[in-house]
Each structure stands twice: as C-alpha cells, then as structure tokens.
Structure 1
Amino acid sequence: MERSQMEETDVLVIGSGIAGLSAALYSAMGGVKVTLATAVHLFSGSTFFPGTWGFGLVGPESEEDEEEFIKTILSLGKGVALPSLVRTFVEKVNGSVDELEAMGLTLLKPSSEKEGEKEYIPCFDHKHRRWRGLTKKNLLEVMPGLLAKHGVTIRPFHKALELTKDNERISGAFFIKEGKELVHIRAKAVILATGGLSGLYKYRLTTDDVTGTGVGMALRAGAKTVNLEFLQKMIGFVTPGPKTVHNEKTFEASNFYTGSGEDLLKKRLPEGISKEEVLKLRALHGPFSTETDSKYLDLALHEELQESGQKGVLLRYDAEKVKAQGEFVKTYFDWLKEEKGVSMDEDIHVAPYMHASNGGLLIDEKARTSLEGLYAAGECTGGMHGADRVGGLSTANGIVFGKIAG
C-alpha cells in the first residue's frame, strides 16, 4: 500500500445516495468547503439501485393532515419510533422536496384524474398522501450541475475504513483510494450517509456497496444506535431480470406455483384463510409484515423454497387483472419491459430478499449523532420509522435529514 495522503475540508460527507447528495449540496450552499467521498462511483447506493423504476416520496396532503400522518407513523412504529424525529420529518418533508424541485429536479406526479387511485396509497398506510415520484434519470440530469455549481469536491472510489477523533470530537476519516492508497480526510464536521445494512445479506435488493460501513465505523467510535433489528424483506425476481423488485401493487394479479404446478397458496394456506384475501392484503405493502394475514404469502414462499431446494418460486401474472389496475401499475410494467426486458407474459421466478433498514444510528432533530462533530442522514439512521415504515418515507428521510445535516 502506498504512503498515506492527507487533505482537509470543512464538511466531509460519506455516501452519494440521496441523503449524501442532499447533505453535500446544502452544506455547500452554506458557503463552506465540502468534500463528498463515495466507495464507488458518484451516484451510488440504494438510491440508484437498478432493480426498481424509482422511488415514491410521500408527505402530508396538507397542514391539517400532519397530525394524522404523525399518528399513523407512530402507530406503525409499534412503540419504538421516536416522536420528536417523526414530527420533524412530517413537518419538513413537503418543503424539503419542493425545494429540490425548485432547483430543477423533475418529479413525477399523479395525473389529476388518477391521483385518487388506490395504487397511490403508500405501503402500510390507510389513506392517500401527497405523492411525488423520484427517478434515477431525473437525479442524474440535475445533480451533477448543482454539485458543480456549489463547488462540491468529489472523491470517488474512496472506501471508508475508520472515523478519526481529536480528543472526543470526530475529525475526519481514513479511506482506501482505488484499493491501494491510504487517504486521511480531516474535517470540522462529518456527515455519514452510507446506507443501511441490507448489503450484509447474501440475497439483497441493494447495490453491492451498501455494506453497513458507516454504522460500523460509528459504533466503533462510540455512537449509539436504535431499532437495528427492524429490517425490511421484500419479494424480488430471481429470473428473468434478477434482483428486480416485485411491485406490491401487482399482487392481486399474481399467481404463484409450486415446482409440480400446484397453486402455492391453495396448497400452503391455513384452513379458513383465502388466497384472494391474502393477496389483497399483501398488495397494501411491499415489505413483509407480521401484522395481517398477508404474512402467509411470504411464509409460503419461504417454506416452498426450503423444501424444494429451488432458488425461486414460479410467478405468472393474470393479464386481465393487470389491465384492470391503474396508472401506477402501467408505469411499473412499462419500466419493466423497457429497462429489464421482462414482459408480464413471461414465467418469472421470485424469492424473498433483504431490502432495507428501518433502524440505524441514533440522531436528534438536527441530525446529530451521540458523538460531537458527527452527523448522519438517510438509511444509516433510525428512530423516524420504527417497526413498519410507510412507503415513500425512506427516500424522503434521506432528503429531509440530509438537508438538516447539511
């Protein structure tokens, strides 16, 4: 390994998904010198995971809806979400998203005649919220120019190794640059935006650079965590289009079969529970949850794979039921065909995958960790979700607390 190099900056941001990008951008807009380091290329992490069309961003429909939304999040959190973080999140999400749009980021919106469709109700939620869609394409069109405009220094292929301290204050981090050179970047403040823990699992719906590095470094430095046990598991494609997310809004049009051609659910459901009801409930959320009878689909998939030794369970879509669904589902299948070359008419094999973290580093309303000089944002943090998470709040979390940290 080559000799250690050293550089200095005011703010060091580690991670270049939506949380890191927001943190770097808002730090730089404050007039300080910002360095954005990322383990691989710029624009990486779960924000740019190629196995989905993009990400929903949800917020309260109005100021009047804020209290109801806070109540819903805390209820889904099952007593382990932190009320102060939930309130900060809900009160700031719409304004934070609108600011990015004002900077030139194009966001998808439901067409006026379609915004009342049930497909726009977020996962685990019971009513419509304000919905916006964020795509990788739109981010890539706008973010490079914004980062350049505000003078953010980019350090790609810098794999973080360890945080450094001056006395008890975090003062930077060591990196391996391009796998061979040790680099020490000193900073007055460090913002971790390194993503969740799903990359630690063999079967995962994340990019390979999501490895829990930030959480691990912070723990070794003495930081506190919250809700690490709450992870999201989702169903994804094995073949064709490996690691593509199965869109939950299509569950009611999905049929699953055993290796011998039997209907999976009719074979494995407990007596008195119907296939139709399980699929209807499962269509309400992408991640697995134990809260309703929707759990029996995921359990049936797991049991079938364990007993058969196969890597995936056969899925066939009912084309007529797909056509009866709305604009949101059409957008998904159009993307699936264009980006993955997969048609709804094909035999698809699916399996459970690890997807995302609901917990992580403990932060306060100002995105401060328990360590002086260390901030964090995005999926490497926890407390604003709890046990189950409303769909569309993971990416929104990165935007809101990324901005606050910056």
Structure 2
Amino acid sequence: MIKEIITTDVLVVGSGIAGLKVSMELAKAGQNIIMSTKTQLCSGSSFFPLKASLGTQVTKNDEDKTVFLEDIDAVSHNMQDREMAKIYIDEIRDRVEEFPEIGIEPYKLSDDRKACFANHGRTIYMLKDWNKIRENVSEIMENYPNISLMERTAVVSLLKQGERISGAILLDRNNDFIMINSKAVILATGGFGNIYKHNLNPNDVDGSGHILALEAGASLVNMEFIQFIPGFTSPKYKTLWGEHTLNYCEDFVNASGNSILDGVLPEGLSKEECFKVRSTHGPFTNSLPSKYFDIAMMKEILSTKSEEGFELIYDAEIYKNATDFYTIYLNWLEERGINLVRDTMKIAPFAHASNGGVKVDSYGRTGVPGLYAIGELAGGIEGANRLGGNSTGACMVFGKRAAQDCLEFVESVNLVKVNSQPENIKISQIIHSFSANTEDSLTPHDVMEAVREIMWFRGNVIRDEKNLLIALEKIEEMKSAFSMEYFVNQVAERKSAFKARNFLILSSLLLKAMLERKESRGAHYREDYPAENEFYNKRLLILLNNGEMKLDFELRK
C-alpha cells in the first residue's frame, strides 16, 4: 500500500499564513521541511479573497495592553485562553513587522479603527492583493531549498511511536500512499467551513486537521462556537457582505416584499436600532440585540426551505456621502460588477470561521509530543465570539512561537525510523471501520453533499435539541450506508473517500458539542435554551477514549 517513504525533520501541513510563517522560521534555523498542501502554495482561508482586504489588529501602545485584553475578555464570555490573549497583545507589534518576510506588504491605516466586536479603536494593518502575495511567496521560497513543497496532497493519518509523533501518511497528487518519516508535525490546516452547504471558505477548509489531531491523541475545544456571517446569495454568490453598509439600509425583505424583522423584533427594539448595532459586527452573536437580524433570516429559511436569501433595500445616499471606509468596499464590489442600489442584493447566513479547534498552549503544543497546531485550526485566544483583526495576527504570533518550541524539540530528539508494514495495517483498519457491508454504497460525493445539507439546516444559527438529534440520527444512517473500502480501491476516489469519512466524524462531534451546551453564548444560539447559563461557564473538550468520542466540560480557574 505504501509506495514510498520520505524522511524530513518537520512536516508542515497547510500553506496559509500560519503554515508559511512556521515553515520559513524553521527553514531559517536549518531544518528540512516538507510542506504539504491540498491545493497549491498559498491556500486556505488566508488566500481566499472574500473582500478587498483583511485587517490585523495591533496593540497601539503599552497603555493599550490592558484595554485590549478587556476587549478580548468582553467578547469571549470566559471561553478564551487568557494567557494566549496576553501573549498576542504583547507580541503582535513585533510580528506585524515580519509580514514582508513571508511575502505580505501590509499598509497601516491612518487612524485607529474599531475592529469587529471591539469596544475601542486601535492600530489596524491591512492585507490585500492576494495574487501579488502569491508571486512574492513563490520568489521567497526560492531562497529556502530546504523547504520541499508537496502540492495536491492530503495527509490522512499521523504516525506515532509510543506517545511521540513520528510522521504521517499522505496521498500524493497521484493518489498514491506516501509515508513521511519526521521528528515533528505542525498542523496549519485551517477551519472546517466547507462542511456547511453555504460557506465562505475554499474547498480545502474541511476540518481534516481536527480529525488528524483528535485521532493522534489531542483534544478539541470550543467546537460549538462557529461564526456565521451573512454573505450574498445574489447577484454574486459567496461574496462577503459588508455589515457597515447597514447604516444606509432602509429595509430587509422577503420575496413578497415584507420586512422579515417585523415579526421577530421584541418590544422596545426598533428596526433602526437593530440595524445600527448589527452594522458594527460581521458574525452572528447571541450577545447583542442585533441577533434578531440573523435569527429572522434563519427562521424564514427553516419555515420556507428557501435558500435564495433576503433582499436589502439600500438608500442611494451610500454612493454620494460615503467615506473611505465605505468606498474601499463599494469600489471592490464595482470591480465585480455589483452595485448595492442598482442590483437586487440578497443575503443569507454563511458558515465562516471556527472559534474553537485543537486545544493548544501558547507554543502550539497539543499535549502529544512532536505535534503542534496553529492558525484557525488551533483553539486559542478566541472565545464565544471572535474579536476582529486577531486571526491573521495570531498566525504570525503563534506560528513564530510554535517554530521556536519545535526547533528545540527536534534538536533534542532522534528520528524514529518507521516501518511501513504496521502502518499498512493501521490504514486498513481506518478504512475497514468506515466500510459498511452494503452492495449499494453511498458515494463520497453523496456523503459530503448530504452532510453539508444537514449541517446547514440543523446546525446553523438556530439550534435546538430536536433538530440536533435528528441530524445525528441522519449522520449515523449515512455511516452505515457508506463503504469507504470500495472507493479507496478506486485510486481516483481515494482523497474523496477520506474526506467523506472525516465529514461523518466531524459533523457528529460538532452536533454533539452543540447538543451538550444547553445555553446560548456568543456564536452558539440554542432556541430552546436562549439565555446564558452560569453553569456552562466552562469550555467543552472533545477527545477520543479507546476509540469512543468523549465530551467533557473543562473546569475553569
């Protein structure tokens, strides 16, 4: 089964900002790196241009450190890693200066700006021109002959000798099984938005790293806190909606022209006030009265089963009086042939980012010797809500720290030679456990499309026990109707077969996490438990115990 064994010092899985940062830091220190990426160099959500630019929020001065931490604490609702938040605040000013080292030339906004969910304005650096960044990265990579890039590859299992990581098995661009023998593995595979039917992620953001880490012995945390952000369904599908434009919005209507907010807003909350608050943040949150904006959309979708989205009626003044804050976004839309006033602008909730992920410490260590997780994959400074402008910066801060610790680790251990025969058996066991005894198996495509449909309708903005249990039952039914072995034996279907398997595992653990947290907090909204409950003032951990998924609430200090 294993076609080839390749030896290296460190395997880095993922080539977004986090993967680039950690790979180049280790390569500078003389380590040999293999970088595996599912698509091409510079991939994942880091290089998926949903809007004109991305921002990195930076501590503006020493006095801001306390205020910045207060901002993170306020939105996290006690679900954050406070130590990691402090480290981000202390180190981000230095790390933003290192963006050019990985091909990114950010520009500093002239004035302080409030990031999404932030109560205070601070320094923002903007990242843009993704094609230029790709060109820069390609040129920079020529200076690192000790980084070997493996594009169109998918890591399907991590290897361990005793408790320690010893490498991985991947499918190469020809779908052959390749074994990587390494001293350490750094996962930078991003989130899992692609498990939802409507999402604002590329196809490679599929949660594979979560399953790799979980099965290697790491735990997951905060998986129920998923960001849903309105995106355009028309005139251009899968385009990020700019929430600040709500300040020029007159109404929000369904196909019949009726306002969808009229029957949802509680007494005392006007449509204008709802719009005003909702204009300050992109993702849905239960923490603010603007939650009814997103709840109204999802209620209509669930009752009508229509996914066409809902129309925003804009005032033409947006194009006459808008400041630079608006015109950057409006000009970007115009480049794509979109005009907010001329066109029929419809939006719906799209899955976007995960606030949770692999439980790590401030060096990206997972608790499994030799295994690190960084970027969106890692459950770190984010809590029940994600403070805007921290994601790209966290890739730099914790990418650097993971490289520092990993360097010490690999220099202190010897390479453990792996034997392909036991690993052949392990892969066979993985495949067999997801191979139902059926002559009429669902295809990997069937499985993935069905999972996406289930998750979007039953694990979206609005959640309740009835729908979550129905969803879990449907996932189990699919598992018993999917023969992974049949499709792995078809070489062209191997990557899809593993991805379908991961979808079945990931959807199950997400639904169970949503079910376990019987309250509403931040990005997690339970219609049957609409209030925040002090009993759940603790993070939910997920781990495997003798092959069985176990969920347990972490005691908070």
Task: Give the TM-score normalised by structure 1.
Answer: 0.94
1:181–1:42: structure 2 CA closer, same or farther, 3 Å change rule?
Answer: same
What is the one-letter code of the residue matched to 1:288?
F
Give the whole-Å Cα distance in 2 for the aligned partners of 1:329 and 1:78. Answer: 30
Give the whole-Å Cα distance in 2 for the aligned partners of 1:388 and 1:139. Answer: 29
Question: C-alpha displacement at 1:179, in angstroms?
Answer: 5.0
Question: C-alpha displacement at 1:326, in angstroms?
Answer: 2.3
Structure 2 partner of 1:405: 402
For the pair 1:180 / 2:200, whether they are aligned, the reply is: no
Give the whole-Å Cα distance in 2 for the aligned partners of 1:187 and 1:297. Answer: 49
Structure 2 partner of 1:216: 211
Structure 2 partner of 1:227: 222
Give the whole-Å Cα distance in 1 for the aligned partners of 2:327 and 2:192. Answer: 31
Structure 1 partner of 2:347: 350
What is the one-letter code of the residue matched to 2:5?
M
Question: C-alpha displacement at 1:138, in angstroms?
Answer: 4.2
Deviates more, 1:309-318 or 1:381-390: 309-318
Q: Which deviations, in whole Å up to 9, do the C-alpha atoms of 1:50-108 show, x marking residues without a partner?
A: 33223110011112211211122122111121111111111111211112236763113
SS of equivalent residue, structure 2 residue 297: helix
Question: C-alpha displacement at 1:257, in angstroms?
Answer: 1.1
Structure 1 partner of 2:117: 124
Larger RCO: Structure 1 or Structure 2 (Cα < 8 Å, ≥ 6 residues apart)?
1
SS of equivalent residue, structure 1 residue 58: strand
What is the one-letter code of the residue matched to 2:172?
K
Give the whole-Å Cα distance in 2 for the aligned partners of 1:103 and 1:234. Answer: 28
* Equivalent in 144, 153, 156 of residue 150 of structure 1: 144
From the two aligned structures, give the one with the greater strand fraction.
Answer: 1
Q: Which deviations, in whole Å up to 9, do the C-alpha atoms of 1:134-177 show, x marking residues without a partner?
A: 12234223222222212221100111101111221111111111
Structure 2 partner of 1:134: 127
Give the whole-Å Cα distance in 1 for the aligned partners of 2:270 and 2:174. Answer: 54
Q: What is the root-mean-square deviation of aligned Cα atoms in Å?
A: 1.7
Deviates more, 1:383-392 or 1:171-180: 171-180
SS of equivalent residue, structure 2 residue 182: strand
Give the whole-Å Cα distance in 2 for the aligned partners of 1:171 and 1:105. Answer: 33
Structure 1 partner of 2:408: none
Give the whole-Å Cα distance in 1 for the aligned partners of 2:108 and 2:47. Answer: 20
SS of equivalent residue, structure 1 residue 305: helix
Structure 1 partner of 2:422: none
For the pair 1:259 / 2:279, whether they are aligned, the reply is: no
Give the whole-Å Cα distance in 1 for the aligned partners of 2:217 and 2:170. Answer: 19
Q: Which deviations, in whole Å up to 9, do the C-alpha atoms of 1:352-398 show, x marking residues without a partner?
A: 01100011111112121110001111000013111111101112111
Give the whole-Å Cα distance in 2 for the aligned partners of 1:43 and 1:92. Answer: 24
* Equivalent in 294, 304, 309 of residue 298 of structure 1: 294
Q: Which deviations, in whole Å up to 9, do the C-alpha atoms of 1:21-65 show, x marking residues without a partner?
A: 111111111111111100112211111123322311001111221
Q: Which deviations, in whole Å up to 9, do the C-alpha atoms of 1:282-310 show, x marking residues without a partner?
A: 11110000111110100111122223332
Deviates more, 1:308-317 or 1:95-104: 95-104
SS of equivalent residue, structure 1 residue 26: helix
Gaps of 5+ in 2: 404-557
For the pair 1:369 / 2:366, whether they are aligned, the reply is: yes
Structure 1 partner of 2:389: 392
Question: C-alpha displacement at 1:267, in angstroms?
Answer: 4.7
Give the whole-Å Cα distance in 2 for the aligned partners of 1:157 and 1:103. Answer: 21
Give the whole-Å Cα distance in 2 for the aligned partners of 1:404 and 1:104. Answer: 19
Say if 1:106 and 1:138, in contact at 8 Å, map to a contact too: no
Give the whole-Å Cα distance in 1 for the aligned partners of 2:86 and 2:18. Answer: 19
Percent of counterpart pairs with the same letter?
A: 37
Gaps of 5+ in 1: none
Say if 1:316 and 1:346, in contact at 8 Å, map to a contact too: no
Task: Give the TM-score normalised by structure 2.
Answer: 0.69
